[in-house]
Structure 1
Amino acid sequence: MATIWDADVLIWAASQIVEAENGGLRTCRFLRFTPYQLLTAVGRATGARDYRLLKAAFARLQSTVIRTTIRNGEHWRRHQFSWINEWEERMTRDGRVEGMECVLSG
């Protein structure tokens, strides 16, 4: 289950989208970034442990399921989603991380 410590990843992602929109750019739910870029932006350290914690945060955000009921007049609708749809770590053959990608829930 995602924790409060994972929220900074979502806040960072939302800020990237808002910044792009404010700059007049077209936006989507797909983000490509380096782990270093995200970690430094949210004020975290950038050691090996911090990279492992970041990957664990993405795993929790993807696996946490939120179920809700939305009322629209007399009609009710059940809705279920995860915080992120998918994520991927991109690396070289020797194991050096080149970047990460994620798709936020819509």
Structure 2
Amino acid sequence: LHQQLSPIVWMTLVGLGLYMVYIPFNSIYFERMIAAFRFSGNVGFLIYVADSFGYLGSVGVLMSKELFRVQLNWVNFFVQSVQILSIAGVAITLFATVYFVNKHKRESF
């Protein structure tokens, strides 16, 4: 898909896609999960943890590039990372949904 779009459109769509996932997960989904399991607190800590993993990934890529002198085509790396992480994100979300629905059913009785 990235070969059929201009670089500006591609980057805009990737950024929009990331933002459209970030907002529901970091507010609505986490808040409802806290309410469903009757934890006291708010969503702030979960947002902090999720953001920390994002920053950890960014730092990991930058450190790998500098420390190990990785020679990659960074455009291909970015495109492949977007594709792999998108598929992994959907799979992990589906797994988490099934897990938490089953856990909520057990704890509701």
TM-score normalised by the chain length of structure 2: 0.31
Which structure shows the bigger proportion of residues in helix conformation?
2
Instruction: Normalising by structure 1, report the TM-score.
Output: 0.31
Larger radius of gyration: 2
Higher strand share: 1
RCO higher in 1 or 2 (8 Å CA, sep ≥ 6)? 1
